[in-house]
Amino acid sequence: MTVKIGVPDTQSCVYEQGERVLMASATQAEADGEGLQTVPNAGDVFGDFTPYGVGGLGGSTDGPLEEVHVFWLAGMSCDGCSVSVTGATNPSIEELLAGSIPGLPRVVLHHPVLSVTAGAGFTKMFRKAADGTLGHPYVGVMEGSVPDDQILPEGYWSAMGGGGFDPDSPGDQPNRVTDWVKLLAPGAAAMVAIGTCATWGGIPAAAGNVTGSMSLTDYLGQDYRSTLGVPVVNVPGCAPVGDNFTEVVAGLLLFLQGIGPLPELDELGRPAWQFKETVHRHCARAGYYEEGRFAEMPGDQECLVEIGCWGPVVQCNITERGAINHMGGCMIAGGACIGCTMPGFPDKFSPFYKAPPGSAVSGTISRTTGAGIRRLRRMSQANLNRSPLWDRTGEVPTPYGRGMSGPTTVGKVEGFFYKRLQYRGSTNLAKANKTQPIPKSMNILEQERDRAAATRGQETT
Ligand code: SF4
Ligand code: SF4
């Protein structure tokens, strides 16, 4: 598949990424007669035609950039994405804000919840970005879905600040977030949608909603490109893993600096390395699935597929990365996957906590084969839980292992064939264990007791 990325430049560049080719073609859109959207405010920073940076990787050659502003817009949002991001550790928000990561510019974050300024003081920088007087490159971040309030003659579903956008005719009406997006997106170095609401529509776009909510890409259209030619970058999840977002921002900043490539995105604009694997492949409970052992109720430790886990088909990396700082995450915390990172969420995954239809086939196969596999594994495990010395003495001499025996007759037969397979084509050096002498000082305290008793007996006689 080929994704064309319009870049205001006369050069072109091809990135080979597996089967995919990203073709950054400078004036492709213009050649098509469509034209890139006008760039009202990036010219001062990036030049009218953005040349490729170091090594032809893209980004700015006017660097190193000292600061990049991030404008956070909240649409139909619960602020859960913001909470997630504040928990990110790799990199953390604090590191990005402090500019302490080598090679990255300092991030100046304008966030409706986290910023200390409020009111007109807070929206002032948004206005500067919108009218092209900010003087620094900026990235726009959308949290929450985009409501369909542009169709309303007046009113809004989500708003930020007030007074209108025309300085000559100030009013007191709240400013629609959808207007801010329209003003900021064309001049942004990149637009990032965070969370499933902004990436796909999410819960506010579920059946029965009255807001007509949609994703940022739905709103801006598939031809949208940032000033650096980047389509909307999507980091889904409800809420997303905070590190997924900060990692992507760090990657984009390296790209802006001209010292890194554009992060690899998949066909839906997701960071490809974060969303190409399924939950199931890295799940801590995947072994139970394979052995055909399934939870019957929340709180059970086995695989959760029969109580509604969609992990085998859902693309999400929380099982690799954890929720925060490599800890927690849905299955670790006992939760079945309800597909919150997927474009079909929530409607296509409902009713939640009911076994997905596909699990009937794969679950039955696992249950059938798993019973036999578990038995074979128990036998191997019993063997591997005995040291070679214990095999020779025929007992397991630990206080915890009282009652455990040496190899049974069945175990010896199984061990014989197992070893034939294990050492096929290689040398069984461990075979020499059979002729190792039993250590003489084994069970030394009993030996001492016996010696003392024998000495006492001799004295008595
Ligand atoms: S709990 Fe879900 S993701 Fe984990 S093994 Fe079971 S089906 Fe797969
Ligand atoms: S495992 Fe499933 S429910 Fe949990 S975060 Fe990933 S996609 Fe969402």
Residue 314 CB–ligand 2 contact under 6 Å: yes
Q: What are phi and psi of 422, to 5 degrees?
A: -60, -40
Identify the residue whose tokens are 């929530």: 346
Q: Which ligand is nearest to the CA of 334?
A: 1
**Overall domain count for the chain:** 2
Looking at the structure, tell me whether residues 19 and 147 fall in a common domain: yes
Q: Pocket of ligand 2, candidates 278, 279, 309: which has the most ligand atoms within 8 Å of its Cβ, to mutate?
A: 279
Q: Which ligand is nearest to the CA of 320?
A: 2
- Whether residue 243 is contained in a domain is answered as yes
- Whether residue 270 is contained in a domain is answered as yes
Residue 323 CB–ligand 2 contact under 6 Å: no
Q: State residue 8's pLDDT score.
A: 35
Residue 359 CB–ligand 2 contact under 6 Å: no
Nearest Cα residue to 156 out of 172, 143, 174? 174
Cβ count near 260 (within 10 Å)? 21
Return the half-sphere exposure (C-beta side, CA atoms, 13 A cut-off) of residue 56.
Answer: 10
Say how many Å lie between the first and final Cα of the chain, rounded.
97
Last residue within a domain, chosen from 229, 253, 275: 275
What crossing angle do the helices spanning 359-384 and 409-422 adopt, rounded to 10°?
100
Q: Which ligand is nearest to the CA of 290?
A: 1
Looking at the structure, tell me whether residues 269 and 417 fall in a common domain: no
Residue 331 CB–ligand 1 contact under 6 Å: yes
The rounded Å distance from CA 356 to ligand 2 centre is 15
Q: Pocket of ligand 1, candidates 277, 282, 283: which has the most ligand atoms within 8 Å of its Cβ, to mutate?
A: 283
Q: What are phi and psi of 106, to 5 degrees?
A: -70, 140
Residue 318 CB–ligand 1 contact under 6 Å: no
Nearest Cα residue to 275 out of 339, 356, 201, 355? 339
Q: Which residues contact 265 (CB under 8 A, 6 or more apart)?
A: 3, 231, 233, 234, 271, 272
Taking the CA of residue 286 as reference, the ligand 1 atom at the shortest distance is: 5
Looking at the structure, tell me whether residues 42 and 189 fall in a common domain: yes
- Whether residue 358 is contained in a domain is answered as no
Looking at the structure, tell me whether residues 391 and 264 fall in a common domain: no
The residue nearest atom 1 of ligand 2, judged by CA position, is: 337
- Whether residue 105 is contained in a domain is answered as yes
Residue 303 CB–ligand 1 contact under 6 Å: yes
Helix, strand, coil distribution of the chain in percent, nearest 5: 40, 15, 45
The residue nearest atom 7 of ligand 1, judged by CA position, is: 305
Distances (CA, A) of 111 to 70, 74, 304, 435, 457: 8, 9, 38, 73, 88
The rounded Å distance from CA 179 to ligand 1 centre is 42
The rounded Å distance from CA 336 to ligand 1 centre is 7
Q: Which ligand is nearest to the CA of 196?
A: 2
Q: Which ligand is nearest to the CA of 328?
A: 2
The answer to whether residues 198 and 181 touch, using CB atoms and an 8 Å cutoff, is no
Nearest Cα residue to 199 out of 297, 268, 288? 268
Burial label for 43, CB within 10 Å (0-12, 13-18, 19+), is middle
Q: Pocket of ligand 1, candidates 288, 302, 331, 359: which has the most ligand atoms within 8 Å of its Cβ, to mutate?
A: 331
- Whether residue 154 is contained in a domain is answered as yes
The rounded Å distance from CA 17 to ligand 1 centre is 29
The answer to whether residues 224 and 38 touch, using CB atoms and an 8 Å cutoff, is no
Q: State residue 167's pLDDT score.
A: 66
Q: State residue 227's pLDDT score.
A: 83
The residue nearest atom 8 of ligand 2, judged by CA position, is: 340
Taking the CA of residue 317 as reference, the ligand 2 atom at the shortest distance is: 6
Instruction: Report whether the peptide linkage leading into residue 112 is cis, meaning its omega lies within 30 degrees of zero.
Output: no
| Burial call 205-243: b when 16+ CB within 10 Å, e when fewer | beeeeebbbbbbbbbbeeebbbbbbbbbbbbbbbbbbbb
Q: What are phi and psi of 341, to 5 degrees?
A: -90, -5
Q: State residue 135's pLDDT score.
A: 85
246 residue type, one letter: T
Last residue within a domain, chosen from 275, 310, 336: 275
Q: What's the CA gap between 43 and 62, in Å, rounded? A: 11
Residue 304 CB–ligand 2 contact under 6 Å: no
Taking the CA of residue 294 as reference, the ligand 1 atom at the shortest distance is: 6
Taking the CA of residue 314 as reference, the ligand 2 atom at the shortest distance is: 7
What crossing angle do the helices spanning 119-131 and 177-184 adopt, rounded to 10°?
40
- Whether residue 331 is contained in a domain is answered as no
The rounded Å distance from CA 270 to ligand 1 centre is 23
Q: Could you list the residue range(s) of the whole structural domain that residue 397 is in?
A: 385-444
Residue 309 CB–ligand 2 contact under 6 Å: no
Q: Which residues contact 107 (CB under 8 A, 6 or more apart)?
A: 67, 68, 69, 70, 96, 97, 99, 249, 253
- Whether residue 372 is contained in a domain is answered as no
| Burial call 149-168: b when 16+ CB within 10 Å, e when fewer | beeeeeebbbbbbebebeee
The rounded Å distance from CA 191 to ligand 2 centre is 24
Reading across the β-sheet that carries 233-235, which strands appear in turn?
106-110, 67-74, 138-143, 190-194, 233-235
Q: Give the CATH number, domain containing residue 179.
A: 3.40.50.700
Last residue within a domain, chosen from 213, 241, 275: 275
Return the half-sphere exposure (C-beta side, CA atoms, 13 A cut-off) of residue 148.
Answer: 11
- Whether residue 216 is contained in a domain is answered as yes
Query: H/E element holding 13?
Result: strand 12-17
Taking the CA of residue 303 as reference, the ligand 1 atom at the shortest distance is: 6
The rounded Å distance from CA 274 to ligand 2 centre is 13
Q: What is the pLDDT along the chain (461 residues), one digit of tens a residue?
A: 333 333 333 333 333 333 322 333 333 433 443 332 233 333 333 444 444 443 344 455 555 788 899 999 999 999 999 999 999 999 999 999 999 999 899 999 999 999 999 988 999 999 999 988 888 889 999 999 999 999 998 889 999 998 888 766 667 789 999 999 999 999 998 999 999 999 999 999 999 999 999 999 999 998 898 887 788 999 999 999 999 999 999 999 988 887 777 888 888 999 999 999 999 999 999 999 999 999 999 999 999 999 999 999 999 999 999 999 999 999 999 999 999 999 999 999 999 999 999 888 888 898 889 989 998 888 888 888 889 999 898 888 888 877 777 778 888 888 888 888 999 999 988 889 889 999 999 999 999 999 999 999 888 87
Residue 252 CB–ligand 2 contact under 6 Å: no
